Amino acid sequence: MVKISPSILSADLANLKEEVLKLEKGGADYIHLDVMDGIFVPNITFGAPLIKKLRPITQIPFDVHLMIDRPERYIKDFVEAGADLITIHAESTLHLHRTIEEVKSYGVRVGVALNPATPLGNIEYVLDYIDLVLIMTVNPGFGGQKFITSMKDKIKRMRKIIDERNLNILIQADGGIKLDNAKEIIDCGLDIIVVGSDIFKSNDVVERTKMFKNL
């Protein structure tokens, strides 16, 4: 069964405690935390201090997605804030392997994200060192975008590579995933889906989360 990682980027930021508790009640497997710096992506969201405040509220693992330039500068901050999984972008750091190793040195799981136009080959030589590949299915920086259909093929190719090499790596997709297209995207070979606006813009966050869990 696919796991769900709701992104609080689309949540009511003035009532985050209540929103997180709704996700817990709905059975969310992770809480997806989109950190944006206004440099690597055009938008600015939040940082380690907010994550640290949220950490005592729930035991759900924190899936921290760093859409920031040179993330190696802040790895320790996000670990100390309570991240369980830290995903960095292959495009955001000059020394990807070194940054991966730094995350692992803290005993935290590590993922690598790829923007839609970034080839899978860019991470060929780090696959043995990571726990997750995040396929961006929209261009990062904003919530509520439309799913890029060509990313289904990219997910399928990533699944084939992982299976052929017998790697223990999860595949996650983020962007434009809604209840009416989630099943066909999951069937491309996903382990985890990130969902934002389609959960938080609904009338009942708990029930909507459960609906995704039952796909």
The residues assigned a catalytic role are 34, 174
Asked if 78 contacts 51 with a C-beta cutoff of 8 angstroms, the reply is yes
Residue 74 CA from chain centroid, whole number: 17
Asked if 135 contacts 172 with a C-beta cutoff of 8 angstroms, the reply is yes
Asked if 180 contacts 208 with a C-beta cutoff of 8 angstroms, the reply is no
Taking phi over 0 as left and psi of -120 to 50 as alpha, with beta for the rest, 212 belongs to alpha
User: For 93, phi and psi rounded to 5 degrees?
Assistant: -140, 145
Residues 77, 75: Cα–Cα separation, whole Å: 5
User: For 187, phi and psi rounded to 5 degrees?
Assistant: -65, -10
**Number of neighbouring beta carbons within 10 Å of residue 137:** 24
